[in-house]
């Protein structure tokens, strides 16, 4: 299992976070009886920040939440989530249904309608089944609890093609507050608010919504915006941060920022590791590209030819170099050097390409590295000291099968 440069120990679960309750239940969207509806509730109003999809085709819940946070970023109390229906490209009825979803939740919890945010994930172009939504709200409200099981159920209830729930939390010994988050995503993941839904909560006291937004944006920049499964950016991508202050402790900016980053990074990496049909996890580091490191990394990470080479355990370095050359960044192949390595780097890096040509590398060792489940790739472009890291996965037959029959 890969490890990451986190400053704090990150747990793959959420325990009690003061003032928050969670629930995940079966409302009726998933025919196999699996959990398919989640509710997160805070006993007190939360300072809330959100980062949303950059796709110009935005789902109804995204539009509703963006507007709601513009008007009320200091009083959010609940987030309600359904699966199997994205409520995207559904016109005014979709907006009305998202608002009704929030209104029913507010009525059931005894709070104001503008204190509820909504999330949806699933098939684009279908309307919400409001009977299922109403039933889900009632059942979830009854199931709210503040323990680890409740959070685990919520994480499971927001999954679509995910094969496992994703949760993470941090609580340092010297702090009264904790941070915990859940996320879903396996396909339609690109490094620009990668179909992901993410919800992070903390009982730390953050009074300024602008500070909360800055913290969340900074964390997303090195986590959810650094992952790619297939290069597609969803209509529904949403990442929320809710801070209710129940711990009574106002955190120092830098330690809290690092904790938030660590939680988001763990969730983001787990999304890539659970990519649809994925068999390989790849960390891709691009260095010295004169400020174009991220553009090159994204181009390599989303290249079907690169990703299929990883699937086939083929050390086809030419595909990586060629992708770097079409990223729209000035590069000189004579200055480029390319290494691959197993994740633990026990054998060290293997140099495949430099001075504009392949090296006399050991092909068998290269194939062995590419056959591993966790691989590091490093591309040095020879122009400056900049660096960017992107996490991606391979592209397999199963990805095509999953998405070729997504609706049918």
Q: Are residues 319 and 253 in the same domain?
A: no
Place of tokens 């609706």: 407
Q: Which of 239, 273, 307 represents a domain boundary (last residue)?
A: 273
Q: Are residues 365 and 315 in the same domain?
A: yes
Share of the chain above pLDDT 70, in %: 91
Kindly tell me if the per-residue pLDDT of 2 is higher than 70: no
Catalytic residues, by residue number, are 195
CATH (domain of 240): 3.60.70.12
Per-residue pLDDT of 161-173, as tens digits, reads 888 999 999 998 8
Q: Which of 273, 290, 318 represents a domain boundary (last residue)?
A: 273
Average pLDDT, the chain: 92
- 174's tokens: 């010297």
How confident is the model at residue 228, as a pLDDT? 83
Work out the pLDDT band at 194, boundaries 50, 70, 90. Answer: very low
Q: Are residues 332 and 220 in the same domain?
A: no
292 found inside a domain: yes
pLDDT (average), residues 140-155: 98
How confident is the model at residue 33, as a pLDDT? 93
What range does the domain containing 138 cover? 20-273
Kindly tell me if the per-residue pLDDT of 283 is higher than 50: yes
Q: Are residues 301 and 254 in the same domain?
A: no
What is the 8-class DSSP label of residue 123?
B
How confident is the model at residue 99, as a pLDDT? 98
CA distance 234 to 231: 10
CA distance 308 to 320: 11
Q: Are residues 215 and 305 in the same domain?
A: no
pLDDT (average), residues 346-361: 92
Q: Are residues 322 and 193 in the same domain?
A: no
Q: Are residues 266 and 340 in the same domain?
A: no
CATH (domain of 355): 3.10.20.340
241 found inside a domain: yes
pLDDT (average), residues 213-231: 89
- 149's tokens: 């099981």
231 found inside a domain: yes
Place of tokens 């963006």: 66
Per-residue pLDDT of 113-131, as tens digits, reads 999 999 999 889 999 999 9
Question: For residues 155 and 39, is the Cβ–Cβ distance under 8 A?
Answer: no
pLDDT (average), residues 72-87: 97
Q: Are residues 240 and 315 in the same domain?
A: no
- Per-residue DSSP letters for 252-316? -HHHHHHHHHHHHHHHHHHHHHT-TT---EEEEEEEEETT-HHHHHHHHHT-HHHHHHHHTT---
Per-residue pLDDT of 20-50, as tens digits, reads 999 999 999 998 899 999 999 999 999 999 9
């Amino acid at each position: 299992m890969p490890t990451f440069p986190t400053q704090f120990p990150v747990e793959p679960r959420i325990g009690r976070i003061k003032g928050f309750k969670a629930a995940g239940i079966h409302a009726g969207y998933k025919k196999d009886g699996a959990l398919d509806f989640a509710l997160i509730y805070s006993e007190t109003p939360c300072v809330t920040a959100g980062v949303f999809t950059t796709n110009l085709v935005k789902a109804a819940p995204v539009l509703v939440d963006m507007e709601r946070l513009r008007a009320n970023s200091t009083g959010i109390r609940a987030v309600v989530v359904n699966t199997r229906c994205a409520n995207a490209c559904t016109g005014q009825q979709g907006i009305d249904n998202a608002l009704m979803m929030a209104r029913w939740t507010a009525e059931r919890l005894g709070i104001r309608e503008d204190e509820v945010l909504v999330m949806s994930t699933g098939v684009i172009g279908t309307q919400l089944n409001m009977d299922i939504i109403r039933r889900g709200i009632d059942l979830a409200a009854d199931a709210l609890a503040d323990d680890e099981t409740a959070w685990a159920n919520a994480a499971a209830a927001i999954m679509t093609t995910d094969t496992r729930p994703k949760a993470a939390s941090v609580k340092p010994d010297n702090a009264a507050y904790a941070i915990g988050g859940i996320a879903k995503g396996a396909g339609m993941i690109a490094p620009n608010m990668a179909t992901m839904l993410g919800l992070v909560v903390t009982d730390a006291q953050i009074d300024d919504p602008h500070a909360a937004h800055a913290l969340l944006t900074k964390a997303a920049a090195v986590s959810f915006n650094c992952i790619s499964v297939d290069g597609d950016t969803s209509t529904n991508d949403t990442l929320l941060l809710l801070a209710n202050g129940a711990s009574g402790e106002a955190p120092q900016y830098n330690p809290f920022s690092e904790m938030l980053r660590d939680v988001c990074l763990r969730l983001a990496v787990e999304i890539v590791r659970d990519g649809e049909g994925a068999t390989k996890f790849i960390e891709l580091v691009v260095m010295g590209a004169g400020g174009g490191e991220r553009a090159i990394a994204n181009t390599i990470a989303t290249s079907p030819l690169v990703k299929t080479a990883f699937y086939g355990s083929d050390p086809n370095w030419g595909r990586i170099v060629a992708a770097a050359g079409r990223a729209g960044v000035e590069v000189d192949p004579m200055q480029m050097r390319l290494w691959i390595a197993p994740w633990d780097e026990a054998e060290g890096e293997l140099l495949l390409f430099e001075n504009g040509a392949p090296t006399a590398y050991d092909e068998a060792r290269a194939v062995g590295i590419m056959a591993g489940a966790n691989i590091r790739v490093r591309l040095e472009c020879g122009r400056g000291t900049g660096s960017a890291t992107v996490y991606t996965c391979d592209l397999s037959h199963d990805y095509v099968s999953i998405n070729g029959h997504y609706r049918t």
